[in-house]
Chains A and B, each alone.
Chain A
């Protein structure tokens, strides 16, 4: 089946036409937003209250927020002090963040704020390591403002009615990301069904879309997490859930998942899935995508913009254009996209100055902080001349990501512009994405069993029907499903 590129399907790429050149990369003009007056007043109040803490010091353990290297971390700390009057000691491990976090907590190291994700927070809440922030959040004019953080979002990080952390940034979704320029070259539409996806992958493989004589692999991945767009075709979702009658179900281990594994095994057998998918890391996949070796991957929506910005920063004349594709619809035309788990800041119970810690969390959602955590450091990542913001060469390389590429705060307008293709990708997120099913024991105990079976079925080591039956038996034996 061959299909033609429709105007609708390439709307994501069309935004490039209106792009402006800034700091060596093309960015899209941001939409104007009228800031909420209550938020602006609350923001001013936070800045005013910060003056009471001028000269104070905080120590923060961060995974993603900060500079891109130790030198920029220092600039980040200096800029933080300039903006808040508070001295920041940023502990920013380059690897093994979880290990560092655990080791420091066990050793009783005192931090004012610590970054973590939902899975880790589940464990830390059980360990009673986090300060209960429920009342402070309810009383915060910044954090309780729904234009800053939509009220329903707090449900994701509420434990028995209590909230122990504050969001770091808006988490996007992992969506199918493809080469829009290749689709255009071959006169194809963005695929929406399994058949269309298969045909597109075959067309990419056989028709040399890059014009370099190569045969790009259809889809690359790092483990099972990236295959959700295919499960979407059967309306299945990662994780486990409870049905109305109270029994526990794991979609990926259900009989309904058998055709997914048959389909994926077919793709694998025909060389349309990267055979290194079970062992490689995401950096390798990104590299393949940006060097014409792979035509599609499943990755964060932000990366649609980052791919385009980085490729254009490297070569302004590049034909490369990534586009987010909504995914593969089920028989009812529903699409299931996985939204990222919340990333948060918490105040540990041994924090030396919890009042200042919370005030910094409020400040984190104001414009100065968002500018720092997205654009970066003024004079280093961007410059401001007569009110006009411009990314420096370094800033363009850092692609407006210093921990918060996409803030929650809807009052914020990026003064530089947006990453090309990002707004359209995020529109897909807002329309289709939702959190995976989750629950205790999933990451530590159940996921390894499910992952092993899925990969072996894709590789052909296990026949899908047998593999699913064996997985069900094992999960039942472990008491994980009924």
Chain B
């Protein structure tokens, strides 16, 4: 009776949530279920499927290229998470110290702008800057008597760029999140610390950073969820020389599914990526104590 009464009472709320549920069912859960089913099938375009059991999974894990892209994904995705963790915090702390409001806004906008660029724009811009012939970096190196570096065809440099450019692109975005968290810290904490004679560094170390921990965990969790799904920057910036060393799971899935029409195999790898993401998230959740009150 009470349940029915509540449903009637909040009926309009349930109606409002329907579009979201429909969206999730249609664009998230239906493709997800279809993907899992396809992973056990040999699928032909325009219909025609054959059940093949776990054959697609066996094919994937017995392919040398699969383990190469797993390794690349861990290196590049892990690199982005680890190396990209502290820069936004440092930027947020620096922005917080700015006294001039106008300059602060300008600096915020400047560091945020790259996040608005598509990867096509970013790749084009950096390819231009780092071009072996005519790029500003290599022209400077040549002017100083050095040998130009072909950044995008050098295997170590290209891997580094695949890590560094996403960090650069998203640094402003995460810095804004941290900055919002910093501004919400109770000013009386800093005032009390100042009364106790705490220096600026001590205030940051003892007050700001500890209170940023929940935000850090959110950002870390978001990055972990996205680690195995990186695609855009690799797809746009890979080339024949570096492909083998920067291709990640999602570009491999694209190549198999879209270019080679191996839908079942691509689906099997996607399902494995989904499973790995859930496991990693659970590990991070447990280790960091995410969601628990301090």
Which A residues form the contact surface with B (CB < 8 A)? 98-99, 102-103, 105-106, 108, 123-124, 126-129, 217, 223-224, 274-276, 278-280, 348-350, 444, 448-449, 451-452, 455-456, 459
Contacts and interface: CB of A to CB of B under 8 A. Distances in A.
B48 A128 contact: yes
A276 B133 contact: yes
Given A108-B47, A279-B239, A448 B258 contact: no
B258 A99 contact: yes
11 contacts: A98-B259, A108-B47, A123-B261, A127-B44, A127-B46, A129-B46, A223-B240, A276-B131, A276-B132, A280-B127, A452-B244
Interface of B: 44-48, 127, 131-133, 148, 150, 152-153, 239-241, 243-244, 255, 257-261, 263
Given A102-B45, A444-B259, A275 B244 contact: no
A442 to B, nearest CB: 12
A377 to B, nearest CB: 31
Contacts of A98: 258-259
A459 B46 CA distance: 44
A348 B46 contact: yes
Given A123-B260, A275-B132, A276-B133, A459 B48 contact: no
Contacts of B257: 102
A120 to B, nearest CB: 9
B133 A274 contact: yes
A65 to B, nearest CB: 22
A224 B46 contact: no
Given A223-B240, A275-B133, A276-B131, A127 B45 contact: yes
Contacts, number: 77
Nearest to A105: B45
Given A98-B258, A444-B260, A455-B153, A278 B241 contact: yes
Contact of B241 (A105, A108, A123, A456): A456
B262 to A, nearest CB: 9
B148 A455 contact: no
A448 B263 contact: no
Main secondary structure of the interface of B (DSSP, over half): loop
Nearest to A455: B241
Contacts of A276: 131-133
Contact of A279 (B47, B127, B259, B263): B127
Contacts of B127: 279-280
Closest 7 CB pairs of A and B: A451-B240, A275-B132, A105-B45, A275-B133, A278-B153, A127-B45, A455-B241
Contact of B240 (A99, A349, A448): A448
B244 A448 contact: yes
B241 A106 contact: no
A276 B44 CA distance: 39
Contacts of A124: 45, 261
Nearest to A460: B150
B45 A129 contact: yes
A444 B255 contact: yes
B261 A108 contact: no
Given A348-B46, A444-B255, A452-B240, A275 B261 contact: no
B125 to A, nearest CB: 13
B152 A106 contact: no
- Name the residue among B240, B255, B259 with the largest chain A CB count within 10 angstroms: B240
Contact of B152 (A108, A129, A279, A449): A279
Contacts of A102: 45, 257-259, 261
Contacts of A128: 44, 48
A76 B241 CA distance: 41
A128 B47 CA distance: 10
B243 A275 contact: no
A100 to B, nearest CB: 10
A120 B1 CA distance: 62
A459 B150 contact: yes
A185 to B, nearest CB: 24
Contacts of B240: 223-224, 278, 448, 451-452, 455
A451 B240 CA distance: 6
A127 B261 contact: yes
Nearest to B241: A455
A278 B150 contact: yes
Contacts of B131: 275-276
B132 A106 contact: no
Contacts of B48: 128
A448 B152 CA distance: 16
A108 B46 contact: yes
A348 B44 CA distance: 13
Contacts of A448: 240, 243-244
A276 B128 CA distance: 10
B45 A106 contact: yes
